[in-house]
Amino acid sequence: MPDGVTLYQTQPLHVCGPGGIVTSQYSWETQNIRTDAGIEGSHGRSGMSAFGGSIRVGELAPGSVIRHAIKMHFFAKRNYFFGSDETPGYRWPAPHADGYANAQTYDGRVPAFELGALLALKPDFDVSSLRTEPARIIARASRDYGIYTVDDTYWDVFHLLVEEGAQGSVYDQFRNVYGYDLEGPALNCAGTSDACKWSQDMWTILQNLNVVDNNSATTIGGGPNSDTANRRAPMAPPFFQVARLGPLKISPRSKSAEPGKKVTFKVRVKNTGLGIARNPKVRTKAPRKLVKPLRCARAGSLTAGQSRTVKIVATVKRGAKKGNRARLTFTATATGVSKKTGSASIRVR
């Protein structure tokens, strides 16, 4: 919401074309990401958050690291257990199970595997044995932070929950980067395509997941919340922490060029914060009498710790006099993030 801290959850959400009416059928109580637990939300089966655990734009890109637990939907009839305890079919942090949950619709065989269960790969799982980069990213997150079970697919498939919104689409980014769809072929596919390898890798991950049975409000991830020394990875950063742009690295800092010639500068933009730097771009200012107007260069979304280099091509005007020096100022910006500036120069020879 406009205040920057209130989450409004609803489903199913539909926008009737660009700038059109937004419609939805159900809504939930708002959550404040600074003061509330952030657990409850619009996953109808478990009552868990629609925001928490979602894979965001940039997090499945090559070289990325997911620094939080993720979430998945499973087929309840095959996987979820319905017991006779006080919370049949669900466990912390899920506040409830499906209204139709019973021993027939939840026909799993592992008592600890209920809605809200935290699943994880064992520390010795060989991530390098997987053949596709997105599967390795998922595996590391599953090993270090885990996967929460949040809903019922209602048929024999599984779902990864990813961002699809105003900031971009994980589906589109995945297809553009890897050349195949996030929604891969059947898990038992026998082809040699990259898409089939992706599905086979995900099947390997699923077969090796274990329930973290001692996960609770006071032992998140299976250990005391106060124990920071023995965790697989640090606790996920607070949701409201944002990206931060580091100092720009510019090369070369100075260059000589004749009138009418072009000079290429490389500007490295790095996200030194904890959130995703969205819509980063580099704008360049230069004296109009000496250098032709320059276009804005877009760097693409940057996950925490990620950097990207853009090229700025400056053309010295034909009428520029020998000996003059043009100072170029590069300004990097991203949505909701403080800008960073740097400079270089061109001497007319």
Q: Which residue has the tokens 């490389």?
A: 266
- The rounded distance, in Å, linking the Cα atoms of 250 and 277 is 19
**Torsion sign across C-alpha atoms 129, 130, 132, 135:** negative
**Predicted confidence band at 27 (pLDDT cuts at 50, 70, 90)?**
confident
Task: Report pLDDT digits (tens) over 137-149.
Answer: 999 999 999 999 9
User: Using CA atoms, how far apart are residues 28 and 24, in angstroms rounded to an integer?
Assistant: 11
Strands 262-270 and 307-315: antiparallel
Structure tokens at 346: 């061109």
pLDDT at 16: 82
Segment 95-116 shows an average pLDDT of: 94
- Output Rg (C-alpha) for the chain, integer angstroms: 25
What is the model's pLDDT at position 188?
77
Structural domains of the chain, with CATH: 6-222 (no CATH), 249-348 (2.60.40.10)
Which of 69-73, 132-136, 274-278 is predicted with the least confidence, judged by mean pLDDT?
A: 274-278
Cβ distance 72 to 315 under 8 Å?
Answer: no
Token representation of residue 176: 């553009």
Q: Which is nearest to 58 in space by CA: 286, 332, 273?
A: 273
Q: Of how many residues is the chain composed?
A: 349
pLDDT at 167: 79
Return the H-helix or E-strand segment holding 228.
Answer: none
